[in-house]
Amino acid sequence: MNADRTPEIAAPLTLPCGVTVKNRFYKSAMNEALAGRDCAPTEEHVNLYRTWADGGAGVLVTGNVMVDRTQLGEPGNVAVEDERDLNMLRRWAAAGTRNGAHCWMQINHPGRQSPITINQHPYAPSGGRMEGEYGRFFAEPTALTIEQIHDIVRRFATTARIAKKAGFTGVEIHAAHGYLINQFLSSDDNRRTDDYGGDLEHRARFLFEVFAAVREAVGPEFPIAVKLNSSDVPIAAKASERNGVFAGFDEEESIWVMKQLEKRGVDLIDVSGGTLEKPVIQTNSGAAEDRRRGVYFTDFARRVKGELSVPVALTGGFRNARDMERALDEGLTQMIGIARPLALVPDLPKRIIRDRWDGTVDLPWVTTGIKALDRAFGGILVIGWFELQMNRIGRGKKPNPRIGGLRALCFAIGKHGPAALTPRRRKGHQ
Ligand SMILES: Cc1cc2nc3c(=O)[nH]c(=O)nc-3n(C[C@H](O)[C@H](O)[C@H](O)COP(=O)(O)O)c2cc1C
């Protein structure tokens, strides 16, 4: 970074809806796992978002908030389907918008990716039991009827309307990581033969209807972001195939969907991923994995550059100011999506912008010290460990990078019971 000029990361950005965010730090969604069985936001949410807002990020995206409390993606989710928790939502939004920060609610429906320990009756674009080693963790879903699809579209709009009423300053529609909207987009999950299945235009119809309904609910001057996978396609030739034909959601298709969303008035695309072979978080080795991979999805961002005029937030792998500035300078992204480092260093944006800190946040190797346990619970360990850090901040404590994997595992079981030990996402959809 050139010390003489204002870094690009500190520059404001005006979105297509006319709203300006104060800098380029985009705190990506992390499920806080702080809600109880009532799915209501808690005092810990308020404390956590106050800390993050004071930490200097331009936009804070909440962890995914469910549009139906009977259909949760993971234990500890917040769900918003009516105004019963409006007061706590107001306090949460007020805390997240301190210090000139934006606080956007990520809204989601898990579809079939709803663990059997918390949901015996999931829904999906198509029925059929999940194949492979994770099948036993998810109940067989029922295919949605047209009426149920319309109901879910309305639910997304209702949740967005309540978010706005409570004082959240934007919403992000979760269309990535294998959840319901992603399931509609993917020809692997979506085998419908009606208007919501078949070619891409029809598979994307559900997303476009959700987007239109949310826009209608929040009006033209309210930011709507969409988190989308760059693809669901495994890198090697192991693509899921049906009758010899590739099934999934590939980069070409993702770019087409992004362009359509741009035409329809989206304000930001949050680029993510998650493939059968390459989940967003691939191992529990932390910094070692980061050094090997660098910033995630940069090749895709290079492909998208020039094709889109809507702002992009590239998410994953940003650990130091140099990489952030380089990605912004190169025009690969307009915002820096960043998740895990902010659970360890909540004021990282302030340190980089104000103090010109040029170190690297090293993520820990999360281990129980017992190889068999690490193997059995790898993904859950990492997620649980970061949930524990958010929980600490929510209780007014500082994050503690020295906490071991076993403690994180015990914490997760203590808080959520055995449900904590089921995979939160299907393999390949972190
Ligand atoms: C504990 C935890 C919870 C997460 N929850 C969500 C979520 O609710 N919604 C979402 O879109 N992504 C979620 N993610 C993925 C992150 O937003 C992000 O894409 C990923 O961690 C890569 O970014 P990073 O390398 O900066 O951590 C979660 C990640 C972690 C570690």
Ligand 1 atom showing the smallest separation from residue 383 Cα: 1
- Are 356 and 320 spatial neighbours (Cβ–Cβ below 8 Å)? no
Ligand 1 center–CA 296 separation, angstroms: 13
**Is pLDDT above 80 for 383?**
yes
Q: What is the pLDDT of residue 244?
A: 52
- Please compute, for residue 322, the number of CA atoms within 13 A of its CA located in the half-sphere on the CB side: 5
**Is pLDDT above 50 for 266?**
yes
CA distance 213 to 226: 14
DSSP code of residue 320:
B
Which protein residues touch ligand 1 with a CB less than 6 Å away? 28-31, 63-64, 106, 174, 177, 227, 272, 280-281, 315-318, 338-340, 383, 386-387
Percentage of the chain beyond pLDDT 70 is 90
Q: What is the pLDDT of residue 289?
A: 74
Ligand 1 center–CA 28 separation, angstroms: 6
Q: Which amino acid belongs to residue 161?
A: R
Contacts of 87 (CB under 8 A, 6+ apart): none
**Is pLDDT above 50 for 407?**
yes
**Is pLDDT above 50 for 235?**
no
Which residue has the least CA distance to atom 14 on ligand 1? 30
Ligand 1 center–CA 341 separation, angstroms: 11
**Is pLDDT above 60 for 389?**
yes
Work out the pLDDT band at 402, boundaries 50, 70, 90.
very high
Instruction: Tell me the pLDDT of the chain averaged across its residues.
Output: 90
Q: Tokens for 146, please give them.
A: 């047209």
Please write the tens of the pLDDT for every residue from 238-255.
445 555 555 678 889 999
CATH 3.20.20.70 fits 8-362, yes or no: yes
Which residue has the least CA distance to atom 25 on ligand 1? 316
Q: What is the pLDDT of residue 18?
A: 98
Averaged over 297-323, what is the pLDDT? 93
Which residues face 360 on adjacent strands? 320
Phi and psi dihedrals of 304, rounded to 5?
-75, -30
- Are 214 and 160 spatial neighbours (Cβ–Cβ below 8 Å)? yes
Phi and psi dihedrals of 144, rounded to 5?
-70, 140
**Is pLDDT above 60 for 426?**
no
Q: Which run of H or of E encompasses 14?
A: strand 13-14
Query: In this structure, how many other beta carbons lie within 10 angstroms of the beta carbon of residue 13?
Result: 18
CA distance 47 to 52: 9
**Is pLDDT above 70 for 256?**
yes
- Are 222 and 170 spatial neighbours (Cβ–Cβ below 8 Å)? yes
**Is pLDDT above 90 for 214?**
yes
Ligand 1 center–CA 134 separation, angstroms: 20
Work out the pLDDT band at 285, boundaries 50, 70, 90.
confident
Ligand 1 atom showing the smallest separation from residue 315 Cα: 23
Averaged over 371-384, what is the pLDDT? 83
Q: What is the pLDDT of residue 248?
A: 76
CA distance 174 to 274: 13
Q: State in Å, rounded, how far the first CA of the chain is from the last one.
A: 32
Ligand 1 center–CA 316 separation, angstroms: 8
Ligand 1 center–CA 385 separation, angstroms: 13
**Is pLDDT above 50 for 273?**
yes
